[in-house]
Structure 1
Amino acid sequence: MFPPGVGPAADPTEGTAPDRAIRSFQPRRSRVTDSQRQALLRLWSRWGLEIDGRTRLDLTALFDGRPVVLEIGFGMGEASAEMAAADPDTGLLAADVHTPGQGNLLRLAERAGLTNVRVANGDAILLLREMLPERSLAGLRIFFPDPWPKKRHHKRRLIQPAFVALAASRLAPGATLHCATDWVPYADWMLEVLSGSELLANTAADGGFVPRPAGRPLTRFERQGLAKGHEVRDLVFRRLP
């Protein structure tokens, strides 16, 4: 799709030992528009990075000293760009495998004059495990991950005890883990798994869900779900000292 060394790699881990863990995502190389492709060609070398599992990221250098929030799975990037614009003093490290979305987020960031956005291509679990130091993140956002609704596919869900333990270890004390889903059974699953972490505390006074925080924009996907009668649930947990 792109010349060698230009734009996101089809497989950032090529040439390394394969990660045989069960994946919670399917790489999607759907049609890339000309504007998305041009954004990737123009901006990837400056604002993009590969999740290769080999490079330890220096977040201080990458974001000019800003605190950094990691967003896993950003779709087409509209909400991500809006949140980054609303909080320019925080760096946004946005990880996804969807090439059109990567190009669109870069295009939106450039158009808005944002300097606090970096786009990561590849498996976010590998990013957390191999490339980010402990206690390095000011926040983690996971909005509308694939619910894998069939019981036989529940093992593919991103929110699992092992993942939560890894993610919590990368959060700085006081940082928040914010999840949202429009699949109520998955919301209940998330609540159970997150509540089982010894490193996280639920910010909801009743130990359940929270109202949608004002800082989380409605996404196109969310609007579509609401139009179908889906119920959206937000969970915000805080990293303990």
Structure 2
Amino acid sequence: MLSVTPIPALSDNYIWLMRQSDAKRIVVVDPGDAAPVIELIEREALTLDAILITHHHHDHTGGLGELKQRYRPHVYGPPDIDGVDNVLADGDQCSVLGRRFEVIATPGHTLDHISYFAAGIPALLFCGDTLFFGGCGRLFEGSPEQMYASLKRLAELPDDSLVFAAHEYTLANLRFAKAADPDNPRLDEVIAQCQALRDQHRPTLPSHLGTERDINPFLRSGEPALQATAAHHGETDSPLATFATLRAWKDNF
């Protein structure tokens, strides 16, 4: 059985660690900081087999150079990132620890952003800064059209897919979701669950894709309730326009 656990890093990042049961070979996703990964590897005498990178931002790649020099793992990721030696694009596949991951281009937050999806039980989605629990990434490089299309692709994955986002932004995202979708009864339940986890200093992640479809306003921009609320903040004459309005509103929320 493949387990996935978070390594907290920086102020609110999660470096995701994959391993097979109690085996010593591991894979990490988006190591923004080498130190906590090295500490774990040395303490448990692990072998870093591979690194998956979703995009070029430093808080996702900052530890890559040191980890590669020290442990010589295979490094998978988008092009033009120093240290990536297995360049991936939309539709490519890579296999790590016995699981085959499909590469999905998810531009919007950045132009080079990719996500990794492994079908199976459980299905696994490593989506970096594209899809968050209750939210989505800021549009630093891409357009609303690109992010909207990327989120639509992810939303088509199975309901039970585990969503491993890269940041603990959940409570802030859910506060915005409540403002944008105040009459959604599922939100109150999810907010209470996540608040209880954070009160215990536990991660709210991973989420489930089915939950995201129920509560994430950026996946629900075609819903009349979201369009009605967003109409006070901008254009809402299409799901895309509503999405763009919601994203701009969230930037200043």
TM-score normalised by structure 2 residue count = 0.31
Q: Which of the pair is proportionally richer in strand?
A: 2
TM-score normalised by structure 1 residue count = 0.32
Greater RCO, 1 or 2 (C-alpha within 8 Å, sep 6+): 1
